[in-house]
Amino acid sequence: MNRDSTHFLFLNVGHYLDHLFTLIFATVAALALTREWGLSYGELLKYATPGFFAFGLFSLPSGWLADKWSREGMIAVFFVGIGISSIATSFAQTPLQMGIGLFIIGVFAAIYHPVGLAIVTQKWKNTGMRLALNGIWGNLGVASAALITGYFIDNGGWRAAFVVPGIVSIVIGVLYTIHQWPEVSHKKTPAQVAATNGPMMSADYRAIMLRISIIVFFTTAVSSIVFQSTTFALPKIFDERMQNLARDLTSWLNAGGVAASGDVATVVGGLAFTVFAVASLAQLVVGRALDKYGPRNVFLTAASIQIAFFGLMPGLKDGWALAVALGFMLGAFGQIPINDFMIGKMASGEARARIYGVRYVVSFTALAATLPLIGFIYETYGFDMLFRFMACSAAVILLAVACLPAKLPQPTAESAATARA
């Protein structure tokens, strides 16, 4: 494996760990703390909210620091910082302490998306496929959070689910720093910093860019609500709606000597992992389609899939619920790289991390605001209402995406010259 391939692998592992750490608590809350701390699922979600606000709020300064100092250096800080924070969170004895720990995890988690994606979209060609592969690793982190945490709940306790990944992340951070040391230690010159100013653009180009930007940031916010609602709540949804299926699978595994008696939490986590992992493969199709057909048609298809499957989900249990959940997760995961693809194609290279920072401030602020929404809808109406709300959200995305141009505009030398004149 050459140096570039190793670098890309490190970035992919970073995306995996980023989503893993931010969703460990989702499974811990659903399967352990509701019993251990005697709080309802909705009450526990309140303590995760500050962490997701930090996940969004600190994306912008993270992108700014990366552009001013070193993108690779910021990724090294991410690996080590989030690892230490996760280990510290495992010592929480009260909900308040847990909330503080999750907030600090969110601060370091905010580094990855604006910085890592800026590296991916600037360093390599075939942007759609690179983002898709990187996105799959992130989705596997989402999936593994449920699987790994469910396993540790049954085998060693929920605190280990924070400690073990934390140690792994610190080790990877040290290895990444060694591998990328020339870039990590590099300090940009004033000339390089000044190069962040992009070329002048014509009035027509600025107008269409404004329209696309509004659509990108609007769909980013709504898509984040859908993504957070599905990924965060899915372990709890499966815990409620697939108990019969989970018990049957546990009995079958016990009979085969695969699982220990009573490992229902592990099986529920395994079902969530299966759905997340299979659905993440949609990004490979989306990545190839983005490079070939452009974002508008691909986005319309992803939104249509979500409308259909969210609409089918209310009232379903066990096998049917599992199948339909896979359907709406295919749409939810499939749309993830689309806005990143558009930003990567249109943003100026040296300022790209800051623009991604703005994108993820919008995205993760919406993620944080979604947690109280999930708690309110669940406590008041149940998950069926949440599915209907998600179907409506996907319909709003569909209408917004229909306003995108068929092809992304590209600034030309002529338009730039006209603007300068």
Q: What is the CATH number of the domain that holds 87?
A: 1.20.1250.20
Alpha helix (H) ranges present in 281-401?
282-293, 295-312, 318-334, 336-346, 352-380, 383-401
Q: Is the pLDDT of residue 421 over 80?
A: no
More confident call, 147 vs 303:
303
Which among 149, 139, 383, 386 has a CA at the least distance from the CA of 268?
A: 149
CB 368 within 8 A of CB 316: no
pTM: 0.70
Q: Which amino acid is at 345?
A: K
Q: Within 10 Å of residue 183's Cβ, how many Cβ atoms?
A: 15
Tally the domains of the chain: 1
The parent domain of residue 220 ranges over: 3-184+201-420
Task: Please check whether residue 191 lies inside any domain of the structure.
Answer: no
pLDDT of residue 420: 38
For the chain, how many residues are written?
421
Mean pLDDT over 256-274 rounds to 68
Task: Please check whether residue 362 lies inside any domain of the structure.
Answer: yes
Q: Within 10 Å of residue 382's Cβ, how many Cβ atoms?
A: 12
Rounded to 5°, the CA angle 15-20-22 comes to: 100
What is the C-alpha to C-alpha distance for residues 62 and 113, in angstroms, rounded to an integer? 9
**Residue 291: C-alpha distances to residues 278, 284, 294, 331 (Å):** 22, 11, 6, 18
Task: Please check whether residue 64 lies inside any domain of the structure.
Answer: yes
Task: Please check whether residue 194 lies inside any domain of the structure.
Answer: no
68-119: pLDDT as tens digits: 888 899 999 999 999 999 999 999 999 999 999 999 999 999 999 889 988 8
pLDDT of residue 325: 92
Max mean pLDDT range (1-5, 9-13, 121-125, 149-153): 9-13
- Burial degree of 125 (CB within 10 A; 0-12, 13-18, 19+): exposed
Rounded to 5°, the CA angle 43-38-146 comes to: 70
pLDDT of residue 177: 94
Task: Please check whether residue 195 lies inside any domain of the structure.
Answer: no
What is the C-alpha to C-alpha distance for residues 23 and 312, in angstroms, rounded to an integer? 26
Q: Which two tokens stand for residue 276?
A: 């997340």
Task: Please check whether residue 192 lies inside any domain of the structure.
Answer: no
More confident call, 243 vs 302:
302
362-409: pLDDT as tens digits: 877 786 778 788 888 888 898 899 999 999 999 999 999 998 887 776
